[in-house]
A and B are shown apart, each in its own frame.
Chain A
Amino acid sequence: MRFVVRRLGFFVLTLWAAVTLNFLIPRLMPGNAAIAMMSRYKGHIQPQALHAIEVAFGVNTHESLVHAYFTYLGNIARLRFGISLTFFPDQVTHQVLQALPWTLALVGITTILAFVLGTFIGLISGWRRGGMLDGTLPPLFVITSAFPYFWIGLLAIWLFSIKLGWLPESGGYDVQTNVAWSWSFVSDALTHAVLPAFTILITAIGGWILTMRNNMISVLAEDYVRMARAKGLSSWRIMWTYAGRNAILPNLAGFAMSLGFVVSGAILVEYVFNYPGVGWMFLQSVENQDYALMQALFLLLTVAVLVAILAADGATAVLDPRTRDRS
Chain B
Amino acid sequence: MTAVTAAEPAATPGPEPPLGAARRGYGADLWNAVLRNRKALVGLLMLLFFVVLATFPGQIAPYNPQATDFLPGLGPSRAHWFGTTAYGQDVLSQVIWATRQSLLIAFAVGGLATVLAVLVGVSAAYLGGIADGTLSLLTDVLLVIPIFPLIIVIAAYEKNSGLGMLVIVLGALGWSYGARQLRSQTLSLRTRDFLESARVRGERRIYVIVCEILPTMTSLIVATFLGAALYAVLAAAGLQFIGLGDPNSQSWGTMLYWAENNEALGAGMVLWAIMPGICVAALGAAFALLNYAFDEISNPALRMRRLDRPIDGARGDAVPAVPPAPDRILEVRGLTVAYATDGDPVIAVDNVDFDVARGEFLGIVGESGCGKSTLLYAITRLLGPPFAGEIMSGHILFQGRDLVSLDERQLRHLRWREFSVVMQSAMNALNPVLSIEAQMRDACKAHSNMTDKEIAARSREVLQLVSIDPIHLHSYPHQLSGGMRQRAMIAMALLFTPDLIIMDEPTSALDVVAQRSLMVQIKELQQRLGFAVVFVTHDMSLVGHFSDRVLVMYAAQVAELGRTRPLFAQPRHPYTRALMEAFPSIHGPNARLTGIPGSPPDLARPPAGCRFAPRCPQAMARCHEGVPPLHDVEGDLVRCVLYDKGAVPEPTLVQAS
From 154 to 176 in chain A, residues with beta carbon under 8 angstroms from any chain B beta carbon are 154-155, 157-158, 162
Q: Is A56 an interface residue (CB 8 A)?
A: no
Known contacts: A218-B301, A230-B382, A237-B446. The answer to whether A257 contacts B177 by CB under 8 A is yes
Residues of B within 8 A of A43 (CB): none
A139 to B238, CA, bound (A): 24
Q: Would you call A148 and B281 a contact (CB within 8 A)? A: yes
In the complex, 9 of the A-B residue pairs with CB atoms within 8 angstroms, ordered by the A residue number, are A143-B281, A147-B285, A151-B281, A154-B265, A214-B302, A227-B430, A233-B442, A233-B443, A283-B152
Interface residues on A, range: 35 or more
A322: min CB distance to chain B, Å: 5
**Interface of A (DSSP majority class):** helix
A227: min CB distance to chain B, Å: 5
Q: Would you call A228 and B385 a contact (CB within 8 A)? A: no
Q: Would you call B431 and A242 a contact (CB within 8 A)? A: yes
Q: Would you call B446 and A150 a contact (CB within 8 A)? A: no
A33 to B156, CA, bound (A): 9
A184: min CB distance to chain B, Å: 27
A259: min CB distance to chain B, Å: 8
Q: Is B304 an interface residue (CB 8 A)?
A: yes
Q: Would you call A143 and B285 a contact (CB within 8 A)? A: yes
Stretch binding the partner chain, chosen from B59-67, B136-144, B345-353, B575-583: B136-144
Q: Is B202 an interface residue (CB 8 A)?
A: no
Q: Is A263 an interface residue (CB 8 A)?
A: yes
Stretch binding the partner chain, chosen from A10-18, A95-103, A194-202: A10-18
The residues of A with any CB-CB pair to B shorter than 8 Å are 10, 13-14, 17-18, 21-22, 25-26, 29-31, 33, 129-130, 139, 142-143, 145-151, 154-155, 157-158, 162, 210, 214, 217-218, 220-224, 226-235, 237, 241-242, 245-246, 249, 256-257, 259-261, 263-264, 267-268, 271, 282-283, 286-287, 289, 291, 294-295, 297-298, 301-302, 305-306, 309, 319-322, 325
Q: Which of A142, A147, A294 contacts B156 (CB 8 A)?
A: A294
Q: Would you call B433 and A146 a contact (CB within 8 A)? A: no
Stretch binding the partner chain, chosen from B108-116, B288-296, B332-340: B288-296
Q: Which of A145, A291, A325 contacts B288 (CB 8 A)?
A: A145
Chain B 277-315 interface mask (CB, 8 Å, partner A; 1/0): 100110011011100100100010110101000000000
Q: Which of B231, B306, B416, B425 contacts A230 (CB 8 A)?
A: B416
A246 to B443, CA, bound (A): 19
B491: min CB distance to chain A, Å: 13
Known contacts: A232-B413, A241-B442, A320-B432. The answer to whether A158 contacts B270 by CB under 8 A is yes
Residues of A within 8 A of B421 (CB): 227, 230
The residues of B with any CB-CB pair to A shorter than 8 Å are 39, 137, 140-141, 143-150, 152-158, 177, 230-231, 234-235, 237-238, 241-244, 256, 260, 265-266, 270, 273-274, 277, 280-281, 284-285, 287-289, 292, 295, 299, 301-302, 304, 306, 377, 380, 382, 384-386, 408, 411-417, 420-421, 423-425, 428-435, 442-443, 446-447, 476, 478-479, 492
Q: Would you call B141 and A14 a contact (CB within 8 A)? A: yes
Closest to A220 in B: B385
A264 to B270, CA, bound (A): 26
Q: Would you call A142 and B446 a contact (CB within 8 A)? A: no
Q: Would you call B304 and A130 a contact (CB within 8 A)? A: yes
A18 to B149, CA, bound (A): 11
Q: Would you call A319 and B433 a contact (CB within 8 A)? A: yes
Residues of B within 8 A of A25 (CB): 153-154, 157
Closest to A288 in B: B156
Residues of A within 8 A of B443 (CB): 231-233
